A and B are shown apart, each in its own frame.
Chain A
């Protein structure tokens, strides 16, 4: 069964490599080449040391649910058929100040509790421009470390 088209992201010049990696089902973080601080969302300059040197490193791919909403109102026509759906704000296990958003998959909203351990999964979806793209989604972690 094909899901309805999603609003596609509009990568910028800083984030394009991150989105390309997600398309390959790789979850990366940017890491400062000078002070080593990991950062997300991607951008060219480190906000700790102002270095422009950076590289891409694999993220742990795990985190904990910091907060969530259950969206009932059909704000987006493209997702009207999916309400109610959860949007998670996930604090990555890589660092306390790294957050990513995503939908909850492989579970129901009744399973959501504060701090729920989750892991990233990749979802290939159809964009609202008719082209495919890939999203990072989150499911309850099967094994806790």
Chain B
């Protein structure tokens, strides 16, 4: 099977959100239902059209077999309950595209619903370690939270390439400027580099303003065939490339250079599937659990040479009006953190041309990516394209 087999076989026909907050006051089931209904409404579809549901979770959300009957879905022909956090977020959409291309499903609602601030904080405060393989070698040293793990790799990048605190700061400042143009964003007050440098350490070299906003909320997208999407109200956004995979971790024999993320491994396959390269990307919504995650992926998806992510972000290239606007919604650092689908939904808005004050003029091709694989040894990403 050629790598282009999945190219432009499925499309995103609708997106939906709940409000983002620090305390939703409702269950993750309610969040899921609200986001899905909003996405179906956006797509011009109803619950009666849905025949498949897909999500990912780490014991923190409500699975498809609970959500489907709660919505009144007539019959489920396929579902996906993917284990994992941010590294698999985009694989959920990719697998939905596979199900559509394979004829197993016609209308898949992909959702992520989480009370990540009021119920289950990924940052780990007050929570015991999860019993996964490598935690036993980390937790006894007080190494547990994703911010700490990413800080370890951010330091490795600083050591290898001279990356600076200020360069991380440019990412946070840029995304806040974008969030100021986004009504959904939780943090809209502009910040300066000085504000960034004055924010408190979480785990050196990462500060509070390097970290995503643990958020209550949900996001959903509707995936269907391209042919069907063309008969729906919204302009279709084609899924031109979808990739997930990886393999490196700190296990012996699988890696010696932790300044290279799993994105470097999957990027060639993604670009080949989409028939596109870095120069074709008009806008990028890049997984930003922490600022460093953006920097390393800009390198590993080929937007700048390895090691030059720091100077690249400091150059203004990633700002609105730059050569590659990044995280136009403000990202997890400023819009809110629902683990990736809000990045996909923002890419859809950009490709529809409906992103308002933060619209990238004429955006036709978007890259959106998942967590680059340091916590679970894999990543996923999409290339989306306007159907015109």
Contact = CB atoms under 8 A, between A and B. Distances in A.
A89 interface: yes
Interface string A43-82: 0000110000000000000000011111111111101001
A97 B142 contact: no
Interface string B125-158: 1101101011111111111110110011101100
A17 interface: no
Given A9-B140, A10-B136, A69-B148, A84 B155 contact: no
Interface residues of B, number: 42
Interface string A98-134: 1111110000000000100000000001000000010
Contact of B252 (A6, A85, A95): A95
Contacts of B152: 67-69, 87, 89
Contacts of A66: 156, 258
Contacts of B200: 72
Contact of B137 (A8, A71, A73, A100): A100
Given A10-B136, A12-B136, A69-B155, A82 B142 contact: yes
B136 A9 contact: yes
Question: Which of the four size classes fits the interface of chain A?
Answer: 35 or more
B202 interface: yes
Contacts, number: 124
A38 B141 CA distance: 24
B140 A135 contact: yes
Given A100-B137, A135-B141, A7 B128 contact: yes
Contacts of A77: 126
B255 interface: yes
B75 interface: no
Interface in B97-111: none
B258 A73 contact: no
Nearest to B142: A79
B155 A71 contact: no
Interface in A1-21: 6-12, 15, 19
B140 A8 contact: yes
B140 A72 contact: no
B136 A70 contact: no
Contact of A72 (B123, B129, B203): B203
B256 interface: yes
Interface string B189-226: 00000000000111111000000000000000000000
Contacts of A133: 140
Given A12-B133, A37-B253, A75-B125, A101 B145 contact: no
B294 to A, nearest CB: 19
B74 interface: no
B70 interface: no
B141 A102 contact: yes
A47 B253 contact: yes
Interface in B222-263: 250-256, 258
B137 A39 contact: no
A114 B124 CA distance: 28
A118 to B, nearest CB: 14
Nearest to B131: A10
A76 B143 CA distance: 9
Contacts of A67: 152-153, 155-156, 159, 258
A70 B201 contact: yes
Contact of A75 (B142, B155, B205, B258): B142
A87 B255 contact: no
B204 A101 contact: no
Given A47-B254, A75-B125, A75-B145, A6 B140 contact: yes
B208 to A, nearest CB: 9
Contacts of B125: 73-75
13 contacts: A7-B128, A7-B129, A7-B139, A9-B139, A10-B136, A47-B253, A69-B204, A72-B200, A73-B203, A75-B142, A77-B126, A89-B258, A97-B255
Given A71-B148, A76-B142, A103-B141, 12 more contacts: A6-B140, A8-B140, A37-B253, A39-B253, A40-B252, A47-B251, A47-B252, A47-B254, A67-B156, A69-B151, A77-B126, A97-B253
